[in-house]
């Protein structure tokens, strides 16, 4: 059984651009890169469908989602900092009130 191969986006782009240049047939390109013609056709279709995204203005959906995640993480880090500060303050107060050996009791 043949192991599944994962191709890089750069490789896929190079192959699809070669297909679109129409200097060779899909079958010739498939043989050249040892990739199934069906897979190449799927790459070409996906490439053409997503080509318009390159020219869109503003952030993409993935960029928006990434920014939201970063903001969420920043908020959580701030909360952790506040809670850590509060715990440290309570430990200090406990030591002042109960004495330095209060944990051992």
Written as six digits, the tokens of 28 are 């010739």
- For the cut 70, the answer to whether the pLDDT of residue 28 exceeds it is yes
- The pLDDT value given to residue 51: 87
Residue 2 has pLDDT above 90, yes or no: no
Q: Is residue 105 pLDDT above 70, yes or no?
A: no
- C-alpha span between 16 and 47 (Å, rounded): 7
Average pLDDT over residues 4-24: 91
Helix then strand count (H, E) for the chain reads 4, 0
The residue with tokens 């209060």 is: 102
- 44-94 pLDDT, tens per residue? 999 999 888 878 777 777 888 999 999 999 999 999 999 999 999 998 888
- Whole-model pTM over 0.75: no
8 A C-beta contact, residue 48 and residue 19: no
């Amino acid at each position: 059984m043949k192991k599944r191969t994962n191709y890089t986006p750069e490789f896929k782009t190079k192959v699809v651009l070669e297909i679109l240049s129409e200097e060779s047939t899909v079958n010739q390109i498939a043989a050249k890169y040892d990739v199934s013609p069906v897979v190449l056709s799927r790459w070409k279709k996906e490439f053409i469908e997503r080509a318009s995204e390159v020219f869109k203005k503003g952030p993409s959906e993935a960029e928006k989602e990434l920014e939201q995640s970063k903001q969420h993480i920043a908020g959580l880090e701030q909360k952790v900092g506040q809670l850590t500060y509060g715990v440290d303050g309570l430990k200090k107060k406990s030591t002042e009130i109960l004495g330095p050996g209060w944990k051992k009791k």
